[in-house]
Structure 1
Amino acid sequence: MGFWSKIFKSDNTRNVEKLEKIAKKVEDLQDKYRVYSDEDLKNTTTVLKERLANGEKTIDILPDAFACVREASSRVIGKRHYHVQILGGIALFQGRIAEMKTGEGKTLVETLPAYLVALEGKGVHIVTVNEYLSTRDAEWMGKIFKFLGLTVGINTHDMTPDKKKEAYACDITYSTNNELGFDYLRDNMVMRPEDRVARGYHFAIIDEVDSILIDEARTPLIISGKGMKSSEEYKKASRFAKSLKPTDYEIDEKEKAIRLNENGIAKAERYFAVENLSDINNIELNHYINNALKAQYIMLKDNNYIVKDGEVVIVDEFTGRLMEGRKYSNGLHQAIEAKEGLEVRDENKTLATITFQNFFRIYDKISGMTGTAKTEETEFNKIYNLDVVTIPTNKPVRRIDWTDIIYPTEKAKINAIVEEVKKVHAEGRPVLVGTITIEKSEEISKELSKAKIKHNVLNAKNHQKESMIIAQAGRLGQVTIATNMAGRGTDIMLGGNPEYLAKQKMQELGYTDEQIEFCTSYLPSESPELEKAREKYKKFYKEFEQVTEDEKQKVIQLGGLHIVGTERHESRRIDNQLRGRAGRQGDPGSSVFFVSMEDELMRRFGGDKLQGVVRFFKISDDTAFTLKFLARQIEAAQRRIEGFNFSARHTVLKFDDVNNQQRKEIYKERNRVLDGANVHDEVLDMIAEFARNTVLDSLDGVESFEEWNIEKINNSLNNRVLPADANYVTSDMCEGLEAQELADKVAQKAQEVYEEKCNALNAIKIDSQRIEREILLRVVDSLWRDHIDFMEILRGEIGLRAYGNHDPLIAYKEESSRAYEEMIGRVREETAMFLLNFKVQIERTVPVQVTKKELTPEDIAKIRKIAEEKIKEQNGNKSPNNPKAQNDLNNLMKAPTSIDMVTNMTENSQAKTKGKVVGRNEPCPCGSGKKYKNCCGRNAK
């Protein structure tokens, strides 16, 4: 450390020094917990929970909790946390991002804060980028938690809701970010509170936090339903796009956007036989054409997506990982299907959506780990309010990072990469070739095969298999090609990984994954077979440990793992991740990037300027060169793109924040209703408002009561606000009234009619408040989905406002707010209308079901008798002939309808009743075989 560095310490140095003080308290307790018996260690969990219950804060018990986990880990999996791992654990507990280099044991680090916060009893979510890592870490680290008496769950996409609920109920839950987000959205779509699976969002520890919070931030999670059928339109637009020439369109490579120029517009007007493509009537046609253009000329196969089993699967542009189950929105996915000649599936209607940016801000506290976070510190801080702390390495880094080697052409670069691999491979050193895209990895593989170099290719398609392969990528003479994400989360150990090799041997002998996992633990067992399997595993492990240790020493002598980058990524962070796979835990290693002037990064930023340098120095196509000036240009280009991407993500967030505020309000109210809130008074207000508006609308602004059209007023109210034959408003009633006074009278009458209906329902044990909640929820869900659709369309079109010198964000806020208020108004109106106009039908348990209108006189007498008995029960076994009981009965028998509440009645007087909503397109309950809207519901409003 230099003289000035000692005086002016960096923020990171000061942060680490504070962590060091707490870590010392943890290490000072090591001897105390070392002498504990296993039972004493397990009882520590109860003791620490009691300390919290007695008023101590979580930070107060941190030293004991961490020390307890360290000792338990040592006994259960044979690993005790290093000093730097304790530092990382403290940073995570504090709600920070711990930047820890590859190989520093981040998976073990998370056990410290996870155990501590789990003692609060509110649940901890450990988030990984794929389900293989979730399962692996839950089984591996879960042994520690279970030993200490905590429960551990794994949340995967193929679980039933009941199994998910069990996983979320555990003290610690392992899950992917996608599954957490989708569960959150699904929980806010259920119709019964018991169908929700998550119990809350208290504390999340995010592994590979940069991948989840940065790389995936612009891609929203979307739950979709069936939408429009438009396959022919997409196919026709695709054929048009393929017919174009480069002179018909313009591409902005920086923005990754495409648009037709004048030639292209003229061709489109001829092709689709329209006079003016810009006409408002051709908005939908423009939608198809724009998507077809982007699919044809911007979205590249094996780069942006792959075709797998007849389906388009998105490839994450930053990580190279396949995004199974995700689809491009707004018709782009269908346009790509048309381009590839696949079946064009129906467009999806968005039912619920959220970005990861807003999802993870739901948690009370989040933290994360990664090997590369410092370059994105500003974004982490500005968007998520997360600080980044760089944790020192356990051993000094010995990796050598060579200067980039630059070639004028792509062909010369590929040839040089093959020669580099051939040279290093001949020395016996392991080589990892990193690529940005699947297409590039396959191209390199083809060239290595021509050179007769044996190698493995990993494209992030099979996480479990690829983790096994990547774990052995450090063995003598091993050559591995991998996209950015392939095998991420698995260390490359020089000489190979003895644990993976021993597990592989056990699999070959037919042992199950569960048996093998037991073999790797230190937990006792009463099963002789399991103990025998463990002995066998230990024998294999010892044999492979010797083999890999011998190999490791040879690889170290040769210089360690050599990393070859095939081009620079847009983000320096991704490049640093690739470099970081070599030189783990003080091992030697090296890295070098090969770059060509034809690489996308070079073309998009400064290509002409750099080509000018090549021409000035008269550099031939196959000549390599390294210039500090060019290295600075490359880094400057990366910084510009990082700035552009941050700006784009920040813009996405600003717009989604508008949606998010509305989403939070809707979900909050929805959950309040779902949890059984009494909304009866609110419903009465809605009914009064609906009635008043109906009256005032029917008056057409006429103020004088003498000029009011009484027939028109009643027609507006009958079968909508009041019963079909009510004709409530009369000339005598209106005399001397003002419009508002008449509206108030009708509102009061509507409330009285509705109250009578509720009393009648309650009299036969149909819960009217449950019906209110159910109808309110269904109306909210339907209109909220329509609102989401509107917001998506608005977001797509709002950019045009910039041409009129309007701030698109301000315009979006204003219009979305207006639309939201209109939606709330419609929720109130439709809820009132549905509740005023539902009727009770009788659904009998005998095969034939009949509505009230088709009942025989005998059936009516029987039903009346049963209803009388029910009302008699409600009146304390008094005669149903009193006025109130008769009124309830009469109201029940004549209630108007548009949503049908069906009562199941058995053939005897002990029948049970329950409510059921009959949709307009469902089979009619009368048994006719027709749809309800074409049968008994024909006259329903």
Structure 2
Amino acid sequence: MAQTYDDRKIVKAYRDLAREVVKREDLYRLMDQSALQEQTQHWLQKFQEREITERDRIYIFALVREAARRVVGLEAVMVQLIGAFVLGDGKIAEMKTGEGKTLVSLFVMYIEILRGNKVHLVTANEYLAKRDREEIGRVLEYLGLSVGLNVSGLDKEQKQAIYKADVIYGTAAEFGFDYLRDNMVRQTEDKVQTSLDFVLIDEADSILIDEARTPLLISDRKEEDLTLYGVADTLVRTMLTDDYEVEEKKRFVWLHDAGIEKAQRFWDIDSLYAEEHQPLHRITTLLLRAHFLMHKDKDYVVLDGEVLIIDPHTGRALPGRRFNDGLHQAIEAKEGVEVREESRTLATITVQNYFRMYKKLSGMTGTAKTEEEEFRHIYNMDVVVIPTHLRVNRVDNADEVFYTREQKGEAIVREVSWLYERGQPILIGTSSIKSNEWVSELLLKAGIPHQVLNAKNHEQEAEIIARAGKRGMVTLATNMAGRGTDIKLDKGVYTLGGLAVIGTERHESRRIDLQLMGRSGRRGDPGFSKFILSLDDELVDHFDNKRWESYIRRMKRKYNFDDKPVHSRKVHQLVIEAQKRLEGSNYDIRKDLLAYDEVIDIQRKKVYEERDRLLGIDKLGAFSERILREVAEDVFSEREPDLDARYAKMGELLGGTKFPYSFDQVTLMSQEEAIEALIFWHRKQRTKFPTGTINQIEKEVYLNLLDQMWVMHLDQMVQLREGIHLRAYGQQDPLVMYQKEGAELFTNFQDRYHFYFAHALLELDPEGLVLG
């Protein structure tokens, strides 16, 4: 994106600071390594006592710049220093591909360590984490700091050693899973993750926006009748368009009255919405979603009898990842492959909510300005566009829009043929595997040799990208080739105009289009980009606007037989408006989902705080007695008008215990007498256990109950979420009802595990204890 007026003002201020850094480039030149390390230690002590000033930052950056020059042979240029100042202020730096973001990260990491913060650097994958740790980590180590690499598959001791480092490289998933695992341990000393002080995120838009809703799940197997998915698939295949309705934008599908009646006849039940038939309603809804919302070769791909998710933003298959809450099983039934067991969630957090727990965030990426509103709203971060070091020499041509898909296909072949005959390398971008294969067919018919890159052959990605910049090479790729890929050009290609990028569709997000265009014209190289579109494209098709629809129909009737592009500013405006509208719609969906996620996030924090508080207590006498008293006050409450209900609760609490009073005796006591008798007896029983033993037993019992019932509560919240949108038909706000009923479920969950803990305390038998 181009710089705004505000960007230019901010960059001007930072440019003045960057000039001051460059002026001091000789200041540390004569210092040897030990002297630079001494300076680091001096600053570490100094900044424990006072804040870092602007003047301090200039000297700190000058030292880091000198260390990078020595260790990796890279001397930060003005725009990189500007980017570093932006990151240091907790903002997102938008820097074009090839501008050296990896080097920029060094400056902000070093200064955050001097502030006394633990630093986490998050990359898109483990390969990049390892690469950057080896390159930039060497500079930090040269300055006397420790650097760790957080990867999967390590044991507790290895993880704890890594988290002692000053800077830790890793992926969002690995840091998130460490957090979840830490909140499942039984002893504080088994935790691995240290404080969440500062995180620097590479490809920030991808991780904080595109991946933000991805839940990180720790799960085990869930007992379930998997044959039901196949049965429900049979039902859904009989559904006609009058039986259901699809809201594609909001990702909802629901049954009309005719569909409900059909489902009830099929399952042989009176009401699909009765509580006892919730499992059948759930599985019917899952198959509806699988058939009418999830599309093969767009949302997922079937390879070797396995359903693999396709990342909508990178176009890559995600082996090992599964849609949760039964959707993956529904898709497997739809595609006729083996339906595998559904998992039961033990712990979960979204990437978004994990990163919001850090005290300070900053990020860098090539495309973020278009989502600045979202970054501000959710993360309280501004986006600053950093100017390029070298002028961008890529020529971005205006879009060519055709009336039909067939005309667009012919135009793509004409454009590619002309460029191919010149020997110019070409990258053709498509939005899905389906359109990728369609363009490939057109090129084969035209006799144009090409290489194809999509989720079905992702293992060949490195070889395909390595060849993409060679003379005469045509590469056809989904948006896998849009982010993080560096296409190096052959020498002879520069005179031909560099890499030509042809987009065959506008994506739902301008960022993805900009990433595709950014493969060309890197670091001052020549380049060329053009998008060839049609009025039949999915983007335009999803644009729900009656005025535009009638205009498009008129245009097609009038000019459909002409193979020339549409020469109408109105049509070009339509494409831009459709894209902006979809971006806004997707943002609203993410905001809506965040609001739902915040309900479970608040509950999770309360549960984890409770666990941490318990893990920190060695003597549980007062803790256990408090819960026992609270439960007893409720059970023996004289405010309960229903005597049968009151006696049932008493029986449930005291049943199976050795409480020395009979049930009849207890019913004759006042509330206060019953509570004090219970507490007195509990204290007496506790003294019969060795002190360390009773504390350990109570802690284990409490944690077991809390963890088991938290898993059951998460499952209830999933079921509540799945059906909550139906409340809109009863003139109720689904979010408000989810918040209200979710709070009621959480209160019930807390009451139940406290009750079972109180019952377990009364069941403890010192005579049955085996010591050894």
Give the shorter-chain TM-score range.
over 0.9
Q: 1:236 aligns with which of 223, 228, 231?
A: 231
Give a deviation string over 1:43-80, Cα, whole Å, max 9, x none.
33223213223435376642233222212221222111
Which residue of 536, 540, 545 corresponds with 1:598?
536
Counterpart position of 2:36: 41
Contact 1:692 1:746 in 2 (8 A): no
* CA distance in structure 2 between the aligned counterparts of 1:713 and 1:19, rounded to whole angstroms: 68
RMSD: 2.9
Q: Which residue of 2 aligns with 1:727?
A: 662
Q: 1:644 aligns with which of 570, 585, 590?
A: 585
1:432-511 aligned at under 5 Å gives the runs: 432-459=427-454, 466-467=461-462, 469-470=464-465, 473-486=468-481, 488-495=483-490
Amino acid corresponding to residue 638 of structure 1 in structure 2: Q
Cα shift readout 1:192-240 (whole Å, capped 9, x = no counterpart): 2232221121111111111111112333222222224121111011122
Partner of 2:549: 608
Q: Are the structure 2 counterparts of residues 349 and 34 from structure 1 closer, same or farther at C-alpha, using a change threshold of 3 Å? A: same
Q: Which amino acid aligns with 2:587?
A: F
Number of the residue aligned with 1:581 = 519
How far residue 715 of structure 1 moved from its aligned partner, in angstroms, is: 6.4
Contact 2:52 2:115 in 1 (8 A): no
1:716–1:664: structure 2 CA closer, same or farther, 3 Å change rule? closer
The answer (yes or no) to whether the contact 1:562–1:590 under 8 Å persists in 2 is yes
Whole-angstrom CA distance in 1 between matches of 2:304 and 2:388? 44
The residue that corresponds to 1:787 in the other structure is 713
> Does the CA contact (< 8 Å) of 1:695 and 1:743 recur in 2?
yes
Q: Is the 8 A contact 1:718 1:727 kept in 2?
A: no
Does structure 1 retain, via aligned residues, the 8 Å contact 2:653–2:755?
no
Contact 1:460 1:486 (C-alpha < 8 Å) held by counterparts: no
Letter of the structure 2 residue corresponding to residue 233 of structure 1:
L
Residue aligning to 1:768:
694
CA shift, 1:774, in A, is 2.0
Using CA pairs under 8 Å that are at least 6 residues apart, name the structure with larger relative contact order, 1 or 2: 2
Map 1:481-630 → 2, pairs under 5 A = 481-486=476-481, 488-495=483-490, 551=491, 554-605=492-543, 608-609=549-550, 611-620=552-561, 622-630=563-571
Tell me: CA distance 1:48–1:651, structure 2 relative to 1, closer, same or farther (3 Å).
same
How does the TM-score come out when normalised to structure 1? 0.76
In 2, Cα distance between the equivalents of 1:464 and 1:665?
43
2:149 aligns with 154
Distance of 1:44 and 1:10 partners within structure 2: 39
CA drift of 1:112 comes to 1.1
Match of 1:293 among 288, 295, 317: 288
Equivalent runs, 1:137-286 vs 2, <5 Å: 137-286=132-281
Q: Whole-Å Cα distance in 2 between the matches of residues 762 and 47 of structure 1?
A: 51
SS at match of 1:617: helix
SS of 2:27's equivalent in the other structure is helix
Aligned to 2:737: 811
User: 1:899-928: per-residue Cα shift (whole Å, max 9, x none)?
Assistant: xx6533xxxxxxxxxxxxxxxxxxxxxxxx
Which of 120, 128, 134 is the aligned partner of 1:133?
128
- Give the number of equivalent residue pairs: 766
Q: Which residue of 1 aligns with 2:680?
A: 752
2:576 to 627, 635, 643: 635
2:752 to 826, 831, 838: 826
Which digits, 9 at most, give the CA deviation of each residue in 1:566-622, with x for residues without a partner?
A: 111011121111112211222221111111222211111157345324335323274
What is the deviation of 1:354?
Answer: 1.8
In the superposition, the TM-score normalised over structure 2's length comes to 0.92
Deviations 1:374-393 (A, max 9, x none): 11111110111000111111
Task: Give the match's secondary structure for 1:108.
Answer: helix
Give the C-alpha shift of residue 150 in structure 1.
Answer: 2.0
Unaligned 5+ residue runs, structure 2? none
* Contact in 1 for aligned 2:48/2:116 (Cα 8 Å): no
- Tell me if the contact between 2:315 and 2:480 (Cα under 8 Å) persists in the aligned partners: yes
Q: Which amino acid aligns with 1:583?
A: G
2:64 and 2:107 in contact (8 A); partners too: yes
Does the Cα contact within 8 Å between 1:234 and 1:338 map onto a contact in 2?
A: yes
- Kindly state the Cα deviation for residue 37 of structure 1 after the two structures are TM-superposed: 2.2
2: CA distance, partners of 1:469 / 1:562: 16
Q: Quickly say closer, same or farther: Cα 1:343–1:564, change in 2 above 3 A.
A: same
Shift of 1:162: 3.0
Change (3 A) 1:169 1:262: same
Deviation readout 1:671-719 (Å, 9 max, x if unpaired): 121233544212112222333444448997679xxxx99xx99967755
Quote the Cα distance in structure 2 between the aligned partners of 1:716 and 1:217.
Answer: 44
2:207 and 2:416 mapped to 1: Cα distance?
32
Q: CA deviation at 1:25?
A: 2.8
Q: 2:621 aligns with which of 658, 661, 680?
A: 680
Moved more, 636-645 or 59-68: 59-68
Structure label with greater radius of gyration:
1
Contact (CA 8 Å) 1:404, 1:626: kept in 2 or not?
no
Distance 2:335 2:614 in 1: 46
Give the distance between the partners of 2:71 and 2:35, measured in 1 at CA.
15
CA distance in 1, matches of 2:269, 2:759: 43
Q: In 2, distance between residues paired with 1:433 and 1:376?
A: 25
Alignment of 1:669 with 2:610, yes or no, is yes
AA of the residue aligned to 1:379:
E
Quote how far apart the aligned CAs of 1:760 are. 2.5
CA distance in 1, matches of 2:169, 2:480: 20
**Residue 903 in 1 paired to residue 771 in 2?**
yes
What is the distance in 1 between the residues matched to 2:449 and 2:636? 83
Q: Which deviates more from structure 2 when the two are superposed, residues 416-425 or residues 377-386?
A: 416-425
Deviation at 1:276, TM superposition (A): 4.6
| Aligned residue in 2 for 1:887 | none
| Secondary structure, aligned partner of 1:30 | coil
Residues 1:391 and 2:386 aligned together? yes
